[in-house]
């Protein structure tokens, strides 16, 4: 696990923590020897441990599974109702879910997937050069290693790209669709059609199914599609020396484009709205573009994040001191903030949280008061639980795994 290694700045404004703000409880004791953990925005948590030598245990929301020889870290469905994990015991791989164990009968499990809006898992299994993308009732063979595997929001359509010598090939549910010099697959649209970019020679074009929505692009990067598969965005150059950000929905006759930029990076899009955000450079100056407007980025800035509803975009940055910007409004923070990972932002944009080296920290932006949870030896991930409407984090104290929870309301 990658642990966060920065410390809170000296002299931060710290309010007393009480049971109404932050609380904690032990999840697993030190005898479990936990070595990897995860926390989902649905509030579900998981841990990998070594309960016995050379064996791996999996615990999800307090329920133990295994032990196994190998465990692929679990994934949680969008609604939080299902998990999927890969496990191997006695040399045999299986797909483990909330209520089922699917034996792969000698095949090797390479990866698991969840559609963005469905609890039906998919997985990639192989036996030598025989590769298949599978779910319960379907399986599609892949001639070569599949890349950019994508599912429509309901998990009914699967698309991927393979290399065939110097040619890229796009497949949709097992059928070859397009061949080109290069293909970038953004995802599968809500209507089941792929959203992708193709390059012939030096020119790129972007397609929704068979409809060309942009053409004659000199370069293309960061092609994104939102979880509801109704909005896509990308960064591209039209060959005039600059780059632009493009945003497209099916309601548009043509993509929205930004003004010409020197550079753009860190592109994200709202889960439900036609909004994007990116760090951009124009005339030597760096800023953040969001919804067509530009805001100061600071000397340094962290990754951008949208709230789970898509209404609020937030990021942290540093000038002469740290700040948080939510929907373009900057708030100075009297504390150091980890700029290597995204903030967590609550549903109404009034509070943000992050993991310090030793605890969960959150700030109510008005009246700008910092609150801290239990002090830990090391701190893992921090999320906003969209169900309980609280910030949550996982931390270790003397080998015990704790759940830390802070209520910003």
Q: How far is C-alpha 59 from the chain's CA centre?
A: 22
Q: Across residues 315-338, what is the average pLDDT?
A: 92
Where do the structural domains in the chain lie, given as residue ranges?
1-30+308-403, 42-142
The reported pLDDT for the residue numbered 7 is 34
DSSP 10-68: TT--BPPP-TTTEEEEEEE-GGG-EEEEEE-TTS-EEEEE-SSTT-EEEEETTEEEEEE
Mean pLDDT, the chain, whole residue set: 91
CA 349 to CA 222: how far, in whole Å? 26
The closest of 144, 220, 203 to 176, measured between CA atoms, is 144
The reported pLDDT for the residue numbered 366 is 87
CA 360 to CA 376: how far, in whole Å? 9
pLDDT digits (tens, 9 = 90+) for 351-403: 999 999 999 999 999 888 889 999 999 999 999 999 999 999 999 999 999 99
> Does residue 232 register a pLDDT over 90?
yes
CA 259 to CA 244: how far, in whole Å? 6
- More confident: 99 or 59: 59
The closest of 177, 183, 221 to 200, measured between CA atoms, is 183
Q: Is the pTM of this model over 0.75?
A: yes
> Does residue 6 register a pLDDT over 60?
no
| Residues forming beta bridges with residue 96, ordered by sequence position | 85, 101
The reported pLDDT for the residue numbered 20 is 56
> Does residue 54 register a pLDDT over 50?
yes
The reported pLDDT for the residue numbered 241 is 78
Q: How far is C-alpha 220 from the chain's CA centre?
A: 21
The reported pLDDT for the residue numbered 239 is 79
């Amino acid at each position: 696990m990658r642990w966060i290694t920065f410390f809170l700045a000296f002299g931060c404004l710290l309010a007393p923590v009480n049971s109404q703000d932050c609380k904690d409880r032990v999840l697993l004791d030190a005898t479990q020897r936990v070595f990897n953990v995860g926390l989902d925005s649905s509030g579900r948590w998981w841990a990998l441990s070594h309960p016995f030598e050379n064996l791996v245990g999996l615990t999800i929301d307090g329920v133990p599974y295994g032990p196994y020889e190998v465990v692929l870290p679990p994934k949680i469905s969008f609604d939080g109702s299902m998990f999927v994990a890969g496990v191997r015991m006695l040399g045999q791989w299986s797909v483990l879910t909330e209520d089922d164990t699917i034996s792969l009968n000698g095949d090797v499990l390479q990866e698991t997937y969840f559609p963005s809006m469905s609890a039906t898992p998919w997985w990639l299994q192989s036996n030598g050069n025989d590769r298949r993308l599978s779910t319960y009732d379907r399986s599609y063979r892949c001639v070569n290693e599949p890349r950019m595997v994508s599912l429509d929001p309901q998990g009914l359509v699967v698309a991927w790209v393979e290399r065939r010598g110097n040619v890229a090939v796009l497949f949709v549910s097992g059928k070859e669709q397009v061949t080109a010099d290069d293909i970038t697959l953004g995802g599968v649209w809500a209507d089941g059609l792929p959203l992708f970019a193709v390059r012939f020679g030096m020119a790129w074009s972007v397609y929704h199914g068979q409809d060309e929505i942009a053409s004659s692009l000199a370069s293309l990067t960061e092609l994104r599609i939102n979880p509801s598969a109704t909005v896509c965005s990308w960064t591209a150059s039209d060959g005039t020396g600059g780059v632009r950000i493009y945003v497209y929905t099916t309601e548009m006759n043509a993509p929205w484009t930004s003004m010409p930029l020197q550079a753009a990076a860190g592109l994200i899009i709202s889960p439900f709205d036609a909004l994007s955000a990116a760090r951009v450079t124009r005339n030597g100056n760096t800023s953040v573009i969001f919804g067509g407007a530009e805001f100061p980025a600071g000397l340094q800035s962290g990754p951008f994040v949208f709230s789970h509803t898509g209404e609020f975009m937030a990021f942290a940055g540093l000038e002469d001191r740290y700040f948080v910007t939510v929907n373009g409004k900057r708030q100075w923070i009297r504390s150091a903030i980890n700029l290597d990972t995204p903030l967590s932002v609550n549903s109404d944009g009034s509070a943000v949280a992050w993991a310090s080296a030793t605890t969960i920290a959150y700030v109510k932006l008005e009246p700008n008061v910092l609150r801290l949870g239990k002090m830990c030896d090391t701190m893992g991930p921090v999320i906003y639980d969209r169900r309980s409407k609280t910030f949550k984090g996982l931390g270790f104290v003397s080998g015990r795994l704790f759940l830390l929870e802070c209520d910003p309301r």
